Structure 1
Amino acid sequence: MEKEEEEEEEEEEEEEEMVEEMEKEEEKEKEEKEEEEMEKEEEEEEEMEKEEEEMEKEEEEEEEKEEKEEEEMEKEEEEEEKNENEGRKEW
């Protein structure tokens, strides 16, 4: 009788150990999955930042281009005015 009880206890302990092992494994997998998710999110954030920076750069370049064009137009206008004034002086 005692032997049977001992065997039952042993079986129960083994089962408990197996359950513990499985729980540990599950926990480990869960943590790894969470870590992967975090890494993925970080990568996406970095990608978004890159795109944002790219857009800002393009905007700045566009603004600079417009400013240069404006300056060119102003210079041309000044030249024209200057030429007109010189033309009048000759009259």
Structure 2
Amino acid sequence: MKKVFATLIAGLFATAAFAQTPATPAATAPAKAEAAHTKAVAKADAKETKAVVKADAKEAVASDDAKADVASAKADAKATKAKAHHKANKSKMKADAAKADAAIAAAPAK
């Protein structure tokens, strides 16, 4: 239940971050790249959290069914969490690369 509340709170902060209006009406290219980066990172975090919660729920259901299945469920949950973490890191790296590319494109040539 704690993880569900943590997920809901994380979602609340993520929506609050994107619901704010910018102070300047015209956003520059680096600001847009930063916003895209932040959105991609938040999305990756949300997907990872969702996968972890789902894996925990699956483990809890399996533990109610039988003691023999607990070890199998824990192993599956661990693998699922690791996979979700890897996917989230991969998404974050892509977002970082996109942000760097946008920064390079926005920099004036000397």
Q: TM-score, normalising length from structure 2?
A: 0.39
Report the structure number with the largest CA radius of gyration.
Answer: 1
Q: TM-score, normalising length from structure 1?
A: 0.46
Relative contact order: is structure 1 or structure 2 higher (C-alpha 8 Å, sep ≥ 6)?
A: 2
Larger helix percent: 1
